Chains A and B, each alone.
Chain A
């Protein structure tokens, strides 16, 4: 055959191992972290780290960071950055609270009012994302600048729309949407497993009751699955990778790059908005500051999860792992009676390690390409 001969029949085993390790290290690190706490927590405080309840606590805790990170995953894969997510979350918390309160007071039944709150959230997020994305893609302003600017605008708008930073007076039954669960498990005499229905128990039985899959966790899981589908199974995801991997290739092959980038930023603002909506449900109040501290954590989660800051690489499940690492650290350190500030130091180190691993992977692949010439 007069072919371009077969090259890369395979990398040398050592390099292959490094490549594999670079993809899986976050899982390994999470596993090691959990293992560490499983051993250390009982030794220090006598409590169990890997209890059903604690696992559920951690799942609840990852919700905001993960939701901010999901949209950000798409944005960073497309070689952009969205600095506005934390404030979009705050704004949407306020907007959804207003929408729920207004529609409830106007006589809408609670489920409808909550649904309208979600609709208002998505509309708000979509609007912010559309403006961000349009300026970035059509006017060619760097994403860093656009989203930095819009984060101030969004923040100011959120504070203005709120009433002294918080929106209260929401229907009290709404708390259930943000705090009740899909399953309940009551152990011991008179206990059992309950689905959708919170058992009417009190005292020690109530204390022993585990709530499994709180509604915000369920909703976040749905968003995670949608994002996985979108990124890994559809043309939308394929084009996101292509734009981040090679903008020129995307342009030349006729991908509608401008429209696509706009959609990516809309997705980012919408997932951030859902985080705000869920926090409104959870705390029964809209807060214009609730998402302010979360931007950096969410970017850290995305990077730890293996999304390359240079674009073109990453996965949704990686971001889930990254968020889990951050939440496990917070919970574990509190249970060890260690000042929670240590969390930042550990997260910082992990982020830098993640970037180093990402770069060394590129280096290894690059070397292969050169050596075969």
Chain B
């Protein structure tokens, strides 16, 4: 903190001395390290870059080619080793395993903001992990709840629903499963939740698991795919069982692929997060912190939009579809 404040002070001095530049500009360098190359994070990157330009901040972005601790950690270590970064905006790919590598960053004097995913339980005030400045992302539990309500409406409030997910112990998808199951248990007593099955990011496996599930439960009414892959695979199995449109499939994340799947009748509802907002806000937070603002909230939820076939062409909703150039 002290170091950055000094820098901010120094900048202020410089600014005064030369009588130039915006009073709010801060001289910080921010690293951005999302989870994996995918449309969601790429939209987030456009948010980061937009904020960086607006605020005159230099950003260094590195995107891991694959999802996983073993892919993200070396890049993080390299970012720490550069020695010139003041903040790192990161989407930790694992809520427990990434704690130690990020603690090393903190020890090196770098401040951490987590986006999309969090460390520990995401409560940076009273939880086990408190070193990050803030978590900015969707409340994935809330997202799960919203998906549950959307699916419950679509199936008329009763029947069996099935969760197909990617990997266990990832804060984002775990929250979605949790919120989903919670709402179904509390608000829809006539709905039974099956799963989750983990497809390990293999779309064909998601399809196979869903096919098997349809075999044991021919009366299945809905499927919740906790990401596009899961939903795409699950929806494929549903359509091939001749149940397209009868078994409702909810996809988390409004990628263009998901929207296309909806157009093809494979997916019935798409839950959009707001990655652009996450990225933009994270940079704003870094700048504010550098300027010495101490009243920043430690947790910010950016909200959701539910897109269905009815509203998909409405600009109010379609703007949340992840558009990447």
A and B touch in the complex (CB under 8 A): yes
Q: CA of A283 to CA of B237 in the docked complex: distance in angstroms?
A: 10
Q: CA of A166 to CA of B215 in the docked complex: distance in angstroms?
A: 30
Near A by CB (< 8 A), chain B positions 157-213 give 194, 197-198, 200-205, 207-209, 211-213
Task: Judge whether A293 and B236 touch: CB under 8 Å.
Answer: no
Near A by CB (< 8 A), chain B positions 128-152 give none
Q: CA of A64 to CA of B65 in the docked complex: distance in angstroms?
A: 22
| Interface 9-mer from A104-112, A127-135, A204-212 | A204-212
Near B by CB (< 8 A), chain A positions 180-217 give 206-207, 209, 211, 214
Interface check A103, CB cutoff 8 A: no
Task: Judge whether A283 and B211 touch: CB under 8 Å.
Answer: no
Task: Judge whether B236 and A283 touch: CB under 8 Å.
Answer: yes
Task: Judge whether A57 and B256 touch: CB under 8 Å.
Answer: no
Q: CA of A54 to CA of B215 in the docked complex: distance in angstroms?
A: 7
Interface check A32, CB cutoff 8 A: no
Residues of chain A within 8 A (CB-CB) of B197 are 334, 340
Interface check A361, CB cutoff 8 A: no
Chain B nearest CB, measured from A357 CB (Å): 28
Task: Judge whether A61 and B208 touch: CB under 8 Å.
Answer: yes
Task: Judge whether B242 and A175 touch: CB under 8 Å.
Answer: no
Q: Given A292-B66, A340-B197, A53 and B232 touching (CB < 8 A)?
A: no
Q: Bin the interface of chain B by size.
A: 35 or more
Task: Judge whether A283 and B37 touch: CB under 8 Å.
Answer: no
**Contact code string B295-306 (vs A, CB < 8 Å = 1, else 0):** 000000000000
Residues of chain B within 8 A (CB-CB) of A64 are 204
Interface check A279, CB cutoff 8 A: yes
Task: Judge whether A165 and B38 touch: CB under 8 Å.
Answer: yes
Chain A nearest CB, measured from B279 CB (Å): 15
Q: Total A-B residue pairs with C-beta atoms closer than 8 Å?
A: 123
Closest to B228 in A: A166
Interface check A331, CB cutoff 8 A: yes
Closest to A290 in B: B203
Chain A nearest CB, measured from B102 CB (Å): 25
Q: CA of A211 to CA of B241 in the docked complex: distance in angstroms?
A: 8
Chain A nearest CB, measured from B322 CB (Å): 9
Count of chain A residues with Cβ under 8 Å from any Cβ of B? 50
**Contact code string A211-226 (vs B, CB < 8 Å = 1, else 0):** 1001000000000000
Q: CA of A289 to CA of B236 in the docked complex: distance in angstroms?
A: 18
Closest to A330 in B: B208
Near B by CB (< 8 A), chain A positions 146-162 give 155-156, 159
Interface check B243, CB cutoff 8 A: yes
Q: CA of A109 to CA of B158 in the docked complex: distance in angstroms?
A: 44
Task: Judge whether A209 and B37 touch: CB under 8 Å.
Answer: no
CB contact between A168 and one of B209, B246, B256 (< 8 Å): that residue: B256
Q: Given A41-B216, A331-B208, A340-B197, A169 and B260 touching (CB < 8 A)?
A: yes
Chain A nearest CB, measured from B320 CB (Å): 17
Closest to B210 in A: A334
Chain A nearest CB, measured from B159 CB (Å): 14
Task: Judge whether B200 and A57 touch: CB under 8 Å.
Answer: no
Closest to B202 in A: A293
Task: Judge whether A340 and B209 touch: CB under 8 Å.
Answer: yes
Interface check A371, CB cutoff 8 A: no
Residues of chain A within 8 A (CB-CB) of B209 are 330, 334, 340
Residues of chain A within 8 A (CB-CB) of B21 are none
Task: Judge whether A57 and B211 touch: CB under 8 Å.
Answer: yes
Can you name 6 A-B pairs with beta carbons within 8 Å? A54-B212, A165-B38, A207-B218, A331-B208, A331-B215, A334-B213
Instruction: List residues of A whose CB falls within 8 A of some B CB.
Output: 41, 45-48, 51, 53-54, 57, 60-61, 63-64, 155-156, 159, 163-166, 168-169, 172, 175, 179, 206-207, 209, 211, 214, 279, 282-285, 287, 289-290, 292-294, 327, 330-332, 334-335, 337, 340-341
A sample of 17 more A-B contacts (CB under 8 A), given A47-B218, A53-B241, A155-B65, is: A47-B217, A51-B215, A54-B215, A57-B208, A60-B240, A163-B324, A164-B38, A166-B39, A168-B257, A282-B207, A289-B66, A289-B201, A290-B202, A293-B202, A294-B202, A337-B216, A340-B205
Q: Which 5 A-B pairs have the closest CB atoms?
A: A334-B212, A47-B216, A57-B211, A206-B242, A61-B208
